Amino acid sequence: MSYVAHDESAFAPPAEVEEVELYHPKTWVGKYVWSQDAKVIAVQYAMTAMGIGLVALVLSWLMRLQLGYPNSFSFINPSNYLQFVTMHGMIMVIYLLTALFLGGFGNYLIPLMVGARDMVFPYVNMVSYWVYLFAVLLLVASFFVTGGPTGAGWTLYPPQAISQGTPGSSWGIILMLVSLAFFIVGFTMGGLNYVVTVLQARTRGMTMMRLPLTVWGIFMATVLALLAFPALFVSAIMMTLDLTLGTSFFMPAIVSMGQQGGHSGGNPLLFQHLFWFFGHPEVYIVALPAFGIVSDLLSVHARKNIFGYRMMVWAILAIGALSFIVWAHHMYVSGMNPYFGFFFATTTLIIAVPTAIKVYNWVLTLWRGNIHLTVPMLFAIGFIFTFINGGLTGLFLGNATVSVPLSDTMFVVAHFHMVMAIAPILVVFGAIYHWYPKITGRMLNDTLGKFHFWVTFVGSYGIYYPMHYLGMMGVPRRYYAIGGTDFIPASAHFVNEWITIAALIVGAVQMVFLYNLIWSYFNGKPSGSNPWNATTLEWQTPDTPPKHGNFGATLPVVYRWAYDYSVPGAVDDFIPQNVPPREVTGRNSSKT
């Protein structure tokens, strides 16, 4: 239970401190296009990410059409099926989820939640977005070049990725690699901003342990990304050189159709190690912001302080550290030394401990809470279910002996979609429903929101639950058509058809969400400054939406943590972080 110190001397006047230098634009273009305001940059990131995400959504439909109704569509052939798979995966993981969580939510929420006027380097922040947009455009350009985009699978393994015969093995793969390199450069600019803003620009009284868990999640994810993306950067450069200059970093000597290839002495496994040294932390780059955001959604909408705040912070730190020593569990079938397999299986299972702590704490936060089944809360609860399901199948795949027979089957696809596609995207939706009123000053339509939630939630289970069974039957992933394979029963085809129908419905209902975003912007109910009665600083701004500079003339002073909900003796069931103890009135003043 939370008690608030009631001490007159505890009131702290605003400090006279050097403030972040703000650029005040004079034109519309300066304000909304070449903007240096983190909130505008956040919206730019979010809109770009959602735009390219829609492309990836359509690609998933095309994939599912082929799998559900093989050979029924003349515009889907084996080559472009592989291109759909590749582009869908890479866009969703990097260009949508990473960009949306860090560039979108990070930019909007970090300065507001820590009580800063903006990011510490607004100009660099602006450049970060434009480099990201350039990376996205490069990626999109690959759809229009000769040979089309790469079809090497989202992991881009060499030698296949740059060998003749793989779709997009000339321009497609080059554009992908260069786009990734630019994405990383752009992200590094943004990431430096997020880290330094959290560490250096917090307002008076905002200690690290008073930060909302949303900020902790985004902060730690940014640190992971800064340290993990160099591995992808290096491998992208090395593969580009293998392709363009004929070096042999990853390319071994290959004899194809009796012809000796131009490479010799490269090591394809080296690429896999580099890729997964990035790739596994990437899971947590997406998951940690989701963990943080969902913690805050649960606390606000259950009107209860988060259970085990310190443990939640420590778990975020532990997960971040451990995420760098589990990468080779993605490579159990690469022929590694069994002792390495044992090591990586062990670390993989250990990382389940802090993760499970977080799940228990979310559930205990709900326990006897005053649960309001608002749309953000529905999505948050949906996340807990989905994350537990995805996490449990992770126990199968983390164990080398169980993982080997399941490798490259639909079981893997089902697992990682549950744990790092559906679970985080549910949080994205919950977060948008939660913070949309602050961003626009209007509420999203509740009925449409609930319809969106239920169809998305139930529909996602309609897609991925049966997919686990397909995997256990041995149905392989990445196959254009499984044809008349003996060990796959005819019922598998019916399941595939069912999954396709569910995927089409879940995809279509996202249009309702987009409609709601646009409709509510013009017609939504005015939200006021703090419609959820939340405690964190972004809800305490003098203007909604917050103006440039966020907090008006003086920065807020923080007196308490972010989770003072239902405090005994307090009049309201929430006490904002910037309310001094002497203003908290109530009956149990000695304990309030």
Partner 1 sequence: MSIFHDLTAKPWATAPGTVENLYDRATARKLALKVFLAVVTVLFMLLIIAYGRRMAYEDWRPSPQLGLLWANTLALILGSVALQWAQFSVRRGHMDGMRVALLAGGAFTVVFLVGQILAWRQLSTMGYFDVTNPAIAFFYLITGLHGLHLLGGLVAWGRTFSKVWGDFDVAIIRHSVELCTLYWHYLLGVWLVLFGLLFSGNNLDILLKLCGIR
Q: Which region, judged by CB under 8 A, interacts with partner 1, from 89-97, 162-170, 195-203, 400-408?
A: 195-203
Q: Which of residues 451-480 bind partner 1 (CB under 8 A)?
A: none
Segment interacting with partner 1 (CB under 8 A) among 172-180, 267-275, 293-301, 359-367: 267-275
Which of 11, 73, 123, 342 lies at the binding interface for partner 1 (CB under 8 A)?
11
> What is the spatial distance between Cα 478 and Cα 518, in angstroms, rounded to a whole number?
36
526 is an interface residue for partner 1 by CB under 8 A: no
Question: Which position has the token pair 């995927």?
Answer: 503
Q: How far is the CB of 245 from partner 1 (least distance, A)?
A: 6
Q: Per CB under 8 A, does 323 bind partner 1? A: no
> Which window, 12-20, 75-83, 292-300, 485-493, contacts partner 1 (CB under 8 A)?
12-20
449 in Cβ contact with 34 (< 8 Å): no
Q: By CB under 8 A, tell whether 31 contacts partner 1.
A: no
Binding residues for partner 1, total number by CB under 8 A: 70
Is residue 212 within 8 A of residue 536, CB to CB? The reply is yes
Q: With binding defined as CB under 8 A, does residue 2 bind partner 1?
A: yes
Q: Determine contact, residues 167/83, Cβ cutoff 8 Å.
A: yes
First to last CA, the chain: 11
Distance (Å, whole) CA 275 – CA 82: 19
Judged by CB, which is closer to partner 1: 238, or 427?
238
Does 3 bind partner 1 (CB under 8 A)? Our answer is yes
- Binding residue for partner 1, selected from 133, 137, 270, 501, defined by CB under 8 A: 270
The Cα 463–Cα 469 span in angstroms is 11
Spatial separation of the C-alpha atoms in residues 290 and 425, rounded to whole Å: 8
In the bound state with partner 1, the residue whose beta carbon lies nearer, of 311 and 388, is 311
Q: Per CB under 8 A, does 204 bind partner 1?
A: yes
Q: Residue 491: is it exposed, middle or buried by C-beta count within 10 angstroms (0-12/13-18/19+)?
A: exposed
* C-beta of 210 vs 301, nearer to partner 1: 210
Give, as ranges, the residues between 226 and 255 that touch partner 1 (CB under 8 A).
Answer: 226-227, 229-231, 233-234, 237-238, 241, 245-249
Instruction: Build a one-symbol-per-residue string for 327-366: x at contacts with partner 1 by CB under 8 A, - elsewhere.
Output: ----------------------------------------
Using the minimum distance from each CB to partner 1, give the nearer residue, 244 or 370.
244
Q: Please compute, for residue 502, the number of CA atoms within 13 A of its CA located in the half-sphere on the CB side.
A: 19
Does 496 bind partner 1 (CB under 8 A)? Our answer is no
Peptide bond into 545 cis (omega under 30): yes
Q: Which of 64, 202, 301, 304 binds partner 1 (CB under 8 A)?
A: 202
Six-digit token string for 311: 């443990």
Binders of partner 1 among 107-136, rule CB under 8 A? 116, 120-121
Residue 559 binds partner 1, judged by CB under 8 A = yes
- CA dist 91 and 97 (Å) reads 8
* Ranges within 293-322 binding partner 1 (CB under 8 A): 305, 309-310, 313-314, 317
| Nearest alpha-carbon partner for 424 in 387, 370, 460, 458 | 387
Instruction: Give the CA dihedral 152, 156, 160, 162, nearest 10 degrees.
Output: 90
Considering the complex, what minimum distance in angstroms separates the CB of residue 293 from partner 1?
19
CA distance 306 to 535: 12
**Among positions 93, 549, 581, 592, the unique one binding partner 1 when judged by CB under 8 A:** 581
Question: Per CB under 8 A, which of residues 561..580 are in contact with partner 1?
Answer: 561, 563-564, 580
- State the minimum distance, in angstroms, from the CB of residue 208 to partner 1: 5
Q: Which secondary structure element, helix H or strand E, spans residue 327, and what is its range?
A: none
- 387: tokens are 């994350």
Out of 49, 92, 195, 455, the residue judged to bind partner 1 by CB under 8 A = 195
Q: Is residue 262 part of the contact set for partner 1 (CB under 8 A)?
A: yes
| Count of C-beta atoms within a 10 Å radius of residue 361 | 20
**Residues 86 and 151 sit within 8 Å (Cβ to Cβ):** yes
Looking at residue 260, what DSSP letter applies?
Answer: E
**263 is a site residue for partner 1 (CB under 8 A):** yes
Helix (H) or strand (E) holding 190: helix 171-200
Are the beta carbons of 229 and 185 closer than 8 angstroms? no
The residues facing 255 across adjacent strands are 260
CB of 494 to partner 1, least distance (A): 47
Q: Is 267 in the site for partner 1 (CB under 8 A)?
A: yes
Q: List the one residue out of 445, 320, 438, 375 whose CA is nearest residue 42.
A: 438
Which of 125, 232, 249, 148 has the alpha carbon at shortest distance from 184?
A: 232
For partner 1, the binding residues (CB under 8 A) are 2-3, 5, 7, 10-12, 15, 17-21, 116, 120-121, 188, 192-193, 195-196, 199-202, 204-205, 207-210, 226-227, 229-231, 233-234, 237-238, 241, 245-249, 262-267, 270, 274, 277, 305, 309-310, 313-314, 317, 557-561, 563-564, 580-581
